[in-house]
Amino acid sequence: MPYSADHRQETKARIIKSARRLFNRFGFDCVTIEQIMENAGLTHGGFYRHFASKGDLYAEVLDCFFTNPDWDCGWEGADVDPAAGQLGPQIIRTYLSRAHLDEIENACPMVALPSDVARGGINARKAYQTAFEAMVDILQQGAHNDVRPDRKSALAIAALCIGGMVIARASDDPALGDELRNAAMMVALELGGWEENRMPSDGGMASCAQDA
């Protein structure tokens, strides 16, 4: 009996989730299709019912919560809630939070996989660009009370968030990583016109709900 459309979609989502976790931890080149499928609890042969190649899968792994409202970041204690207030400050604080820093397997792929993207082919680069542009768009639109950063500021804020987290992850000194994240957070909030909403630093784990 053929599988239902829901079953196929659920299976594909399991493969993507498995690949994201493995790629984030080990990198694209070091992970095999067999490992991805085993980690998803599926057989190797089932892979090709959903993807033409590992590279085809890679482009979908680059999806994130900026392009997919159903994407679960899973960063404990960090959340983005449109009903809780201005989105811009929430995104900045969540993205540069310690929870995101400590999360390896389910980190945003724009932080975890930038070097792999450069080698990943045109589809991977397009997917990365789509995620980045979606982040910029949300930063531009995610404010109220007439506080809306222009595109130049939104681009700089996105670069501070992604670049700040990439460098913090690369540092062997946790204190330097915290200092860097907090500095990037402060400047990003100022660029967006949200500095008056800034809360005392707690290592990046500010509660987004307090932005309401």
| pLDDT band at residue 211 under the 50/70/90 scheme | very low
Residue 158, pLDDT above cutoff 90: yes
Q: Smallest Cα–Cα separation from 182: which of 164, 196, 194?
A: 164
What's the mean pLDDT in 133-139? 90
| Domain residue ranges of the chain, discontinuous segments joined by + | 5-61, 82-211
Q: Taking a C-beta distance cutoff of 8 angstroms, is the pair 177, 171 a contact?
A: yes
Q: Taking a C-beta distance cutoff of 8 angstroms, is the pair 128, 118 a contact?
A: no
Q: Smallest Cα–Cα separation from 100: which of 7, 1, 14, 184?
A: 184
Q: How many residues does the chain have?
A: 212
Look up the CATH number of domain 5-61. 1.10.10.60
The 10 Å CB-count burial string (b at 16+, else e) for 172-206 is eeeeebbebbbebbbbbbebbbbeebbeeeeebbb
What's the mean pLDDT in 116-126? 81
Query: Residue 101 has what pLDDT?
Result: 92
Cα dihedral sign, 159-161-166-170: positive
Contacts of 193 (CB under 8 A, 6+ apart): 143, 147, 148, 149
- Reported as a single tens digit per residue, the pLDDT across 177-208 is 999 999 999 999 999 888 755 444 444 434 33
| pLDDT band at residue 73 under the 50/70/90 scheme | low
* pTM listed for this prediction: 0.78
Query: Residue 113 has what pLDDT?
Result: 84
When comparing pLDDT for 81 and 96, which is higher?
96
Q: Return d(Cα 128, Cα 109) in angstroms, integer.
A: 8
Residue 46, pLDDT above cutoff 70: yes
Q: Smallest Cα–Cα separation from 100: which of 92, 108, 91?
A: 108
Look up the CATH number of domain 82-211. 1.10.357.10
What's the mean pLDDT in 85-113? 87
Query: Residue 6 has what pLDDT?
Result: 80
Ranking 118-127, 136-145, 163-172 by mean pLDDT, the lowest is 136-145
Q: Return d(Cα 198, Cα 44) in angstroms, integer.
A: 49
Residue 2, pLDDT above cutoff 90: no
Query: Residue 120 has what pLDDT?
Result: 72
- Reported as a single tens digit per residue, the pLDDT across 16-41 is 989 989 998 998 888 999 999 999 99
